[in-house]
């Protein structure tokens, strides 16, 4: 049914559940699995004044990318027996959901799997979650996975 499945991961329990679901779908559909992490530098830009120099800001951004790559590498290693690729993309002052959506289009993905934290509050009310935003803007089907 699916040929190209993407899972967007971070370092959360729901992300690990989404990865397991995406692995299962890729295995049963004989699909290629793309494991993606978005390095979101937004918080660095918002709090950049707290960093003493541009060099520190660049170092912090580099650390985000390295941490994301470590997550992706671990997820790829955990996906033995599947056709799998992993990548880290940078949000570059864009919403994480838009970054994921654009990468999915570029890769020809027909299903995006992402964890849904289920959190509520002012930030979610005003901005919406990444998963909810992605479900609204994606051309591909989106599967929202809760922790299980």
- For residue 121, is it left (φ>0), alpha (ψ between -120 and 50) or beta? left
pLDDT one-digit tens code per residue, 33-43: 999 999 987 65
Name the 3-class secondary structure at 121.
coil
pLDDT one-digit tens code per residue, 51-89: 555 557 678 778 889 999 999 999 999 999 999 999 999
């Amino acid at each position: 049914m699916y040929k190209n499945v993407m899972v967007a991961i971070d370092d959360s329990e729901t992300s690990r559940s989404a990865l397991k679901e995406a692995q299962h779908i890729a295995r049963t559909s004989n699909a290629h699995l793309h494991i993606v992490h978005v390095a979101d530098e937004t918080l660095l830009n918002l709090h950049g004044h707290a960093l003493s120099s541009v060099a520190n800001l660049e170092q912090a951004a580099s650390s985000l990318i390295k941490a994301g790559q470590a997550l992706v590498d671990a997820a790829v290693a955990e996906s033995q027996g599947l056709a799998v690729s992993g990548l880290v993309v940078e949000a570059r002052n864009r919403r994480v959901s838009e970054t994921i959506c654009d990468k999915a289009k570029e890769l020809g993905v027909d299903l995006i799997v992402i964890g849904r934290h289920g959190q509520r509050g002012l930030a979610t009310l005003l901005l919406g979650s990444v998963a909810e935003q992605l479900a609204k803007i994606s051309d591909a089907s989106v599967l929202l996975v809760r922790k299980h």
